[in-house]
Structure 1
Amino acid sequence: MRENEENGKKENVRVVSLAEARETGMPREVLISLHETEGVGRVTIATIFLYGVMKGPGSLRHTGDFLAGDWRDMGLSARQALAAEKSVRPAARERRRSRHAAGRMGAVTYLDDEYPALLREISDPPWVLYCRGRLELLQRPAIAIVGTRLATGYGRKVAEQFAEGCAGRMTVVSGLAKGIDAAAHRGAVSGACGTIAVLAGGVDRCYPPENAALYREMGMHGLLLSESPPDTILHPGLFPLRNRIIAGLSYGVVVVEAARRSGALITADLASGYNRDVFVIPGQVTSPRSLGALEYYRKGAHPALDASDIFQYYEYRLPPAARPKTGNGEASGACGEEEELRADELLVYRLILDRPSSVDELAVFSGMTFGHLHSILLSLQIKRRIEQQPGSVYHVL
């Protein structure tokens, strides 16, 4: 039902600019509610915004109080209007906030300053992104690394090494799939600039299950990201939508290994359509798992042998390269400000960086004993990374 109603409207809806969306006055909580409303999709939300643009500034400011008839006036079907009225009620919004908090996930909307600017430039940006982990990674220069799920040993090794090199100055983006994606995340997750896994389903569930350990590590040291609300039932149509986010977040897409019909080439095609760059790591010309990627050279893809090729291409857009540590242990560079912290200190620091937290909250999120946690908090205060404010709430300095 949802797909039929959306497809019927798609051709008649134009892109809504950030300025237009903000001018309507729609509250971000209402946008999240609509995004999670059964039967209401991206096209319908665009239609609602365009109705607000037509009506004038502030016309959607009180949408949290709208009844079904008000939603019908904006072009929603009877089924959609009833669902929207129920979804935006205060009680429903409160249940939604509790669900997000219980799942240790946040939400970034198209209306928020935290929304990645590069993603806003694509023709169909997601209205809401759900996230778990290091939200600051959304603001860093990013490169996507994708490839086949049926990777060779060569492909996995190259992807991991390439991602490890890139993560020194850029955040590595991929899809947490088997094969090349997983290898890229493993190579980048400990890097200074980290890695983002864009999921087809919600960030509350790991797919595929065999990447469960990597999924948990990404939630602590990287960033899990998805357009899909929590508890979304995974289906094939969500993967191309996931791929557009991978391409949209990144300066360019690096294809490691891909057969002629590989899903990784969908991401490369999307990147080309978004005016992003496509790079290909050379593979064996006789290998079916490399043919799709290698044929992209005929479409103008750039060859890439290691991370230096990527850095050279984007030198004018990247922060300065990290310098070696000095005698007093200090280092500087694109993403090196956290490197002198121990692993357990870094975990707690990133939790507080995500949002100010009490000792009780940190104990739950970190899984540490109170004694160990207190010693880490004291160490972080001595290192002038955090401070304790009234109410025993810790903030990053």
Structure 2
Amino acid sequence: MEERWILFGLYEMEGIGKKSIAKLITGQHSLQELLYFEEGDWIEAGLKKDQATRLAREFDTGWIESRREQVYHRGIEVITYLDSNYPILMKETAQPPWVMYARGDTRLLHQPSIAMVGTRMPTVYGRKVGEKLAEQLSDAGLTIVSGLARGIDRVCHEAVLRANGKTIAVFGTGVDMVYPPENTSLAEQIAETGLLLSEYPLGTRARQGLFPERNRIIAGLTLGTLVVEADIRSGSLITADAALEAGRDVFAVPGPITSPKSRGAHNLIRQGAKLVTCAADLLEEYHSDLQNAEQLPYNRGRSAENASSEEQGLFPAVELSTDEQRIIVLLEQEEQSLDQLIEQLGWDFGHLHSVLLSLIIKKQISQLPGTKYARV
């Protein structure tokens, strides 16, 4: 039996964790020899008695084959640390997974990619910026990697799909256990043209601790991590920390100084993260990587050079009056009703209505049911 499948079998065995596998991998015995181990041999190799008993009783070629068939029956590809197609960037990190489970186009693991992460409860501003940047970076040839969480993660995945780009969703569960459940349809769409990826065996459900651990993979697969919008305690900052630990770039989008959802990103910028106000700010760091990627037949991205020169900002420049700008600032935080705007601005109805109408004509805001207004 190939060593990659023996490693897979160890990983699938209940009660055998990453540290135990590390002991066996770095030990004096080959993986092939492990198939013939008895309980005493496992203990001598550094495992606990309960682990040794379980392995001596269950671990053999028949058991491994049964686990292998279960995975392939679900259409899942197994990538082990011993494989030639294991992503190089991931292998360079401090804690690369021994095994990863993939559903979709695994070639994307070798494409230039960027992580995009942020708060699970973004403002209108955060959503709009995330959508625009994901679309532009994808259009330039970068694969967008995120965690399929609520908020910015979902916004970015969806924007890439709309742009016919490539995206990877890294799970904090098994790839057959979508979390949150409302993203099940989105996961299916990603699997068709992109990739679903996890280090957790099939059937692993969401639980505390798995998602922060998952973030190191998001950071490890990519050239850099872009924090779109995050408060000071956002989980996306864990991904940024993992990127720094792996020697990768960290980028952050500035936001309104009055918004708590911008504090985490602003703190990263103060600590040295590169400020990103348009796709070109990030693309200039990876010119050579994207030029090489353009030669690949399955990369449909636009020329990175063209994308960088064309995108001078996230949104087309529109001349706004001082009063129009005041309304935009309010609507970038959240939708506002007519009454809320009157209360916050202190204007009379006629003036407010005139300014709102001007912004609608300029396509800067939209009117929603119930006399509410939102940033477009």
Who is 2:150 aligned against? 178
Aligned-pair identity (%): 44
State the one-letter code of the partner of 1:181: D
Contact 2:135–2:160 (Cα < 8 Å) also in 1: yes
Who is 2:321 aligned against? none
SS of the equivalent of 2:35 reads: helix
The whole-number CA distance in structure 1 between the counterparts of 2:297 and 2:31 is 44
State the one-letter code of the partner of 2:26: L
Contact 2:112–2:293 (Cα < 8 Å) also in 1: no
Aligned length: 301
User: Is it true that 1:92 corresponds to 2:63 in the alignment?
Assistant: yes
SS of the equivalent of 1:244 reads: helix
Contact 1:165–1:307 (Cα < 8 Å) also in 2: yes
Who is 2:198 aligned against? 226
Contact 1:321–1:334 (Cα < 8 Å) also in 2: no
Who is 2:170 aligned against? 198
Gaps of 5+ in 2: 302-376
Contact 2:6–2:32 (Cα < 8 Å) also in 1: no
Contact 1:109–1:127 (Cα < 8 Å) also in 2: yes
SS of the equivalent of 2:175 reads: coil
Who is 1:349 aligned against? none
Query: Among 79, 101, 104, which residue is 1:130 paired with?
Result: 101
State the one-letter code of the partner of 1:221: T
| Bigger Rg, which one | 2
- Could you tell me the TM-score, scaled by structure 1's length? 0.72
The whole-number CA distance in structure 2 between the counterparts of 1:39 and 1:298 is 43
Q: Which residues of 2 match residues 195-274 of structure 1 at below 5 A? A: 195-274=167-246
* CA shift digits 1:320-367 (9 cap, x unpaired): 586xxxxxxxx9888129xxxxxxxxxxxxxxxxxxxxxxxxxxxxxx
State the one-letter code of the partner of 1:252: G
The whole-number CA distance in structure 2 between the counterparts of 1:208 and 1:69 is 43
The whole-number CA distance in structure 1 between the counterparts of 2:245 and 2:3 is 31
Who is 2:354 aligned against? none
Query: Among 16, 36, 39, which residue is 1:40 paired with?
Result: 16
Residues 290, 100 of structure 1: alpha-carbon distance in 2 compared, 3 angstrom cutoff:
same
The whole-number CA distance in structure 2 between the counterparts of 1:189 and 1:92 is 39
State the one-letter code of the partner of 2:92: E
Who is 1:336 aligned against? 300
Contact 1:137–1:171 (Cα < 8 Å) also in 2: yes
Contact 2:190–2:196 (Cα < 8 Å) also in 1: yes
How far the C-alpha of 1:82 sits from its partner, in A, is 2.1
* CA shift digits 1:248-289 (9 cap, x unpaired): 001100001111110000111111111111101121111011
- Could you tell me the TM-score, scaled by structure 2's length? 0.76
Who is 2:326 aligned against? none
Residues 245, 149 of structure 1: alpha-carbon distance in 2 compared, 3 angstrom cutoff:
same
State the one-letter code of the partner of 1:253: T
How far the C-alpha of 1:102 sits from its partner, in A, is 2.2
How far the C-alpha of 1:192 sits from its partner, in A, is 6.0
The whole-number CA distance in structure 1 between the counterparts of 2:287 and 2:254 is 22
SS of the equivalent of 1:254 reads: strand
The whole-number CA distance in structure 2 between the counterparts of 1:202 and 1:306 is 35
The whole-number CA distance in structure 1 between the counterparts of 2:33 and 2:2 is 7
State the one-letter code of the partner of 1:336: R
Gaps of 5+ in 1: 1-24, 323-330, 338-397
The whole-number CA distance in structure 1 between the counterparts of 2:170 and 2:220 is 11
SS of the equivalent of 1:40 reads: coil
Residues 171, 332 of structure 1: alpha-carbon distance in 2 compared, 3 angstrom cutoff:
closer
Who is 1:74 aligned against? 45
Who is 2:269 aligned against? 297
SS of the equivalent of 1:284 reads: coil
Who is 1:11 aligned against? none
State the one-letter code of the partner of 2:299: C
Query: Among 104, 107, 117, which residue is 2:75 paired with?
Result: 104
The whole-number CA distance in structure 1 between the counterparts of 2:216 and 2:103 is 20
How far the C-alpha of 1:92 sits from its partner, in A, is 1.5
The whole-number CA distance in structure 1 between the counterparts of 2:195 and 2:119 is 22
Contact 2:111–2:293 (Cα < 8 Å) also in 1: no
Greater RCO structure (CA 8 Å; 6+ sep):
2
RMSD: 2.2
How far the C-alpha of 1:48 sits from its partner, in A, is 0.9
SS of the equivalent of 1:319 reads: helix
Contact 1:281–1:303 (Cα < 8 Å) also in 2: yes
Residues 166, 218 of structure 1: alpha-carbon distance in 2 compared, 3 angstrom cutoff:
same
SS of the equivalent of 2:215 reads: helix
The whole-number CA distance in structure 2 between the counterparts of 1:97 and 1:36 is 9
The whole-number CA distance in structure 2 between the counterparts of 1:228 and 1:332 is 30
Who is 2:285 aligned against? 313
* CA shift digits 1:218-264 (9 cap, x unpaired): 11111000000001132111111100000100110000111111000
Residues 28, 110 of structure 1: alpha-carbon distance in 2 compared, 3 angstrom cutoff:
same
Who is 1:64 aligned against? 35
Residues 180, 197 of structure 1: alpha-carbon distance in 2 compared, 3 angstrom cutoff:
same
SS of the equivalent of 2:154 reads: helix
* CA shift digits 1:289-346 (9 cap, x unpaired): 1111111111100011222222211112222586xxxxxxxx9888129xxxxxxxxx
SS of the equivalent of 1:278 reads: strand
Question: Which range is displaced more, 276-285 or 77-86?
Answer: 77-86
